[in-house]
Amino acid sequence: MKHMPLLKKQAAALVARCGIRPRAAAKAATALHDAGMLAWPATIDPSGLPYGLTVRSTAAGAEVDAYLVVRALVKALASECVEDPEGVAEELAVIDGARGPELDALLDELIERLGGAEIRYPASTARELAARIERAAGPMLVPMQRKAAG
C-alpha cells in the first residue's frame, strides 16, 4: 500500500475499517480505482463567468453543487432587505403563505428580480461540464445497462 496514490490509500483504509484485511482492502481499492469509481471532486469555475459549479462523485452517481448561485441570490435578498426591511418581510410572508401555482409564480418573480437562477456557459465549457458530470457519475453498472436497454 506504500506506493498507492492518496485517493486509493484513503479508499483502502475505509474498506479496511469494514473488517476486511489490509491486503484485500488494497485490492478492492485498486479495483475501484481501475473501474473509474474513485475520483477527486472536479470543479468548474471558468474565469470570466459569474458562477461555478462543483461536481462530486457520490455512491449513487454525481452531485452538482450550485452554492455560488444560491449565495448570490441570498446576498441580493439581504441587500434588498437592508433597503426595505418591511417590504421584503411582507413579500416573504406572502410567499410563506402561498401554495401551488401561486407559490411558484411568487418564487419565480422573486428569483428573477434577484438575478435569476440560470447559469450560462459557452458551448466548450458546457461540454466540459457535461464530461465532468459523466466522469463523476462513473461507469454504468451491468444491471443498469440491461435495464436501460429495456
Q: What pLDDT digit, counting tens, does each position of 47-74 carry?
A: 444 456 777 777 777 888 888 788 888 8
What is each CA distance from 134 to 30, 39, 57, 62, 100, in whole angstroms?
21, 12, 9, 8, 34
Residue 89 CA to its chain's centroid (Å): 30
Highest mean pLDDT among 64-73, 81-90, 119-128: 81-90
Answer yes or no: are the C-beta atoms of 62 and 56 closer than 8 Å: yes
Highest mean pLDDT among 13-17, 27-31, 45-49, 102-106: 102-106
Residue bearing the bigger pLDDT, 54 or 46: 54
First to last CA, the chain: 41
Sheet of strand 42-44, all strands in order from the earlier edge strand to the far edge: 42-44, 53-58, 61-65
pLDDT recorded at residue 44: 44
Q: Which amino acid is at 99?
A: R
Distance CA 84, CA 96 (A): 18
Dihedral pair phi/psi, residue 63, rounded to 5°: -125, 130
Instruction: Write out the three cell numbers for 25.
Output: 482492502
pLDDT recorded at residue 117: 83
Assess whether pLDDT exceeds 70 at residue 8.
no
The model's pTM is 0.55
Residue 93's pLDDT band (cuts 50, 70, 90):
very high
Eight-state DSSP code of residue 115 = T
Residue 109's pLDDT band (cuts 50, 70, 90):
very high
